[in-house]
Amino acid sequence: MPRTNSFPSPRLRAASLVVLAALLAAALPSPASAVEAPPYRLTGHMELGFLAVVSHRIQFSNDGTYFSYTDEGGQNNLFAVSRLSLDLKLSPRHTLIFLYQPLLLETRALLRNDLRVDGLDFPAGTPMKFVYGFPFYRLSWLYNLSKDPKKELSLGLSLQIRNATIEFESLDGALFRTNNDIGPVPILKVRTRRVFAGGFWIGAEADGFYAPVSYINGSDNEVVGAILDASLRAGLILPKNAEAFLNIRYLGGGAVGTSDDVGPGDGYVKNWLHFLTVTAGLTLHLF
């Protein structure tokens, strides 16, 4: 039987709602500033490029195989990747950001060794299909500490919603395991940028956290989770409210521990990944 994870606990949902409320409240103008309308500006960003899997290992249940996608799961190729985001500048200090990161790795491979997933054995030599889908949505608020219009040093908060689908399936369809999970993740954020003469600019951005999930959701089970989405980029300001840039990004993280989910396994999961992306991007200042 396939296994489907339950939704986050009420305490975790409450913590995420608090973060979301803080993001929205921080972005609202104060009564003093409400008299003069802030200089709203909407900016769109689009990136296209490739993703390389540096390392990716996963395990379901304590007696399961700690499986390497790069060694036996076909993730030793390059994958197309895209990234879309919108910045809404509410004032010289405050910015809201909405990000959508699609992420779907589908591969096929012939198992060289036995694989055990949540109590189900896939024998060596089995032709396999692997699906690792981990798209996410992220809402962020940033506060710019710099008063120089050519410089940015912003700190803030993010709330990320993951939408994971992880599948192991023999090509004949006889053997199958799946793990689905939707969950909110509160994150810290920092972004910096500097514009030089001629319109050339460099920047960096990072979203990340590392914490015992049991501390956040009040569970008795020790689950440790982490995420780091960090990038370096360089670009050029173009005519007609446009910019072009190149970006190198590290996307990594995962979790280890036992959850309370009921399924064919015992709830233990260990999942750590390290991805590298190289993209070209276009920025359009919409208004």
Per-residue pLDDT tens over the stretch 161-192: 989 999 999 999 999 999 998 888 899 999 99
Confidence of residue 26 (pLDDT cuts 50, 70, 90): low
- In angstroms, the Cα distances linking 47 to 54, 95, 151, 236, 286 are 20, 20, 22, 15, 17
- Top CATH class of 3-28+41-285 equals mainly beta
CA distance 105 to 140: 26
Q: How far apart are CA 262 and CA 174, in angstroms?
A: 22
What's residue 6's pLDDT? 39
Q: Which two tokens stand for residue 75?
A: 């993730």
Average pLDDT on 54-81 reads 97
Q: What is the pLDDT of residues 199-237, one digit of tens each?
A: 999 999 999 998 775 555 445 567 788 999 999 999 999
Q: Which residue has the higher pLDDT, 225 or 156?
A: 156
* pLDDT tens profile 266-276: 889 999 999 99
Going by pLDDT thresholds of 50, 70 and 90, the confidence category of residue 109 is very high
DSSP string, 42-108: EEEEEEEEEEEEEEEEEEESTTS--EEHHHHSS--SEEEEEEEEEEEE-SSSEEEEEEEE--EEEEE
> 35 pLDDT band (50/70/90 cuts)?
very low
Please answer whether residues 168 and 177 qualify as being in contact, where contact means their C-beta atoms are separated by less than 8 angstroms: yes
pTM across the whole model: 0.85
Could you tell me the two tokens for 104? 């779907």
- Name residue 183's beta-bridge partners: 162
